[in-house]
Amino acid sequence: MSDLLAARSQMAVSLAFHIIFAVIGIAMPVLMVLAERRWQRTRDPVYLDLAKRWARGTAILFAVGAVSGTVLSFELGLLWPRFMALAGPVIGMPFSLEGFAFFTEAIFLGVYLYGWEKVSPRAHLLAGVLVALSGAASGIFVVIANAWMNTPTGFTLANGSFSSIDPIAAMGTPAAFPQTLHMTLAAYAATGLGVAGIHAFMLLRNRTSAFHRAALTIGLVVGTPAAVLQPISGDIAARYVARRQPVKLAAMEALYETRAGAPITIGPGIKIPYALSLLAFHDPRAVVQGLDAVPRDEWPNVPLVHAAFDLMVVLGTYMALVGLWAGWLAWRKRDVATRRRFLWALVIAAPSGFLAVEAGWMVTELGRQPWIIFGVLKTADAVTPMPGLIVPFATITLLYCALGVIVAVLLYRQIVRSPQT
């Protein structure tokens, strides 16, 4: 394994691990606050139990997310020092703002978790709201920094260094809006349907539990709207990619030759005529740039990017359909908790969102290769000169595998298991 590949693998493992905790950390506080609000209004103890269990889950996940996020902030330099030396002054701004948002989140999570008896009910609920808001804000800031790597703006490049740096223009990078929208919706959809799916599974075994019924409902309230809106944001994102990173789009769709009226390729040999031109430019005759437009050594890993993209689309479509089904049942005032087929559909949706998030990040990160800053700096030129990078890669991987297992066991014990009383 080359040092470059080891560094990329370590970054991939660190991000793939952290993103699960980040996504849950963004959305879980919303569920927790909704449950507490229901309890304050109805005084039904089931909701208090839920809010407290979800708060405990958030505490465990937030802690692991905080430390794995710290690892990433160092790894930017440990693995890609030349990238940070060049890009730090341009995109340090969203990272600094993320630092403050994260700080606010940590402070009010402390108040929320340990303050049940110490602050007024209203202050307690407000602390939860602040956790949810600052969680969303920190996610958005980090994604802006990533968007800049896809569509770098706010500098002039000359002789390998930047001049006329404008950090505000860098934050307004064209990819910022579509990426942050897509990612934020993904967090709510994955977590909401994830929670709903887990409790759907418990309801299939124990139909009368008011606890699982309440949890299912709140999970659906958060997850369904996001899942239904996600295809629209995906369309916006894809059209930005078509204009700004045509190579990435070509890899996503495995389009080797530039052509008008481009089809979509699904699996080997199945093509839908004109569909790609229609999706990318809303015009069936539009010319879509293929991989042939750039030299072979500037291609990303096409089979991997294409497969990850298709996986994301399939999972996202499935979740949107489940979301529509839930909306339909709610509109017809049907009791979702007793519909076996719907509950099974939710059980399948539970891991789908997280798989889609991982697949989506593979698309955006692998699709940008071989560039770390698209069109400006190659990943191979940014890597640290330190040899033997397979050692930290293996260490971090083992560490995260062990942590993942422990977190899963703890979460099951703390949250999912039916109340004993």
Least Cβ distance, residue 147 to another protein (angstroms): 17
Least Cβ distance, residue 123 to another protein (angstroms): 9
What SS3 state is found at 265?
Answer: strand
Asked whether 80 and 382 are in contact (CB, 8 A), the reply is yes
Distance CA 22, CA 416 (A): 20
Task: Locate 389 and state its tokens.
Answer: 């990078």
Distance CA 242, CA 172 (A): 19
Decide whether 355 or 410 has the Cβ nearer to another protein.
410
Decide whether 169 or 210 has the Cβ nearer to another protein.
169
Q: Which of 176, 169, 168, 181 is nearest to 149 (CA)?
A: 176
Decide whether 97 or 250 has the Cβ nearer to another protein.
97
Distance CA 241, CA 364 (A): 10
Least Cβ distance, residue 86 to another protein (angstroms): 8
Q: Which of 117, 70, 78 is nearest to 95 (CA)?
A: 70
Least Cβ distance, residue 160 to another protein (angstroms): 14
Least Cβ distance, residue 257 to another protein (angstroms): 41
Give the contacts of 376 (CB within 8 A, at least 6 positions apart). Answer: 152, 157
Q: Which of 196, 31, 209, 201 is nearest to 128 (CA)?
A: 31
Decide whether 123 or 260 has the Cβ nearer to another protein.
123
Least Cβ distance, residue 190 to another protein (angstroms): 22
What SS3 state is found at 271?
Answer: strand
- Label the pairing between strands 377-378 and 371-373: antiparallel
Decide whether 77 or 225 has the Cβ nearer to another protein.
77
Question: In angstroms, what CA-CA distances link 267 with 86, 243, 275, 358, 361?
Answer: 40, 25, 15, 20, 20
Name the site residues for another protein (rule: CB under 8 A): 56, 59-60, 62-64, 66-71, 73-74, 76-78, 81-82, 84-90, 92-93, 95-100, 102-104, 106-111, 113-115, 118-119, 165-168, 384-388, 392, 395-396, 399, 403, 406-407, 409-410, 413-414
Decide whether 260 or 386 has the Cβ nearer to another protein.
386
Asked whether 293 and 258 are in contact (CB, 8 A), the reply is yes
Least Cβ distance, residue 28 to another protein (angstroms): 15
Decide whether 86 or 322 has the Cβ nearer to another protein.
86
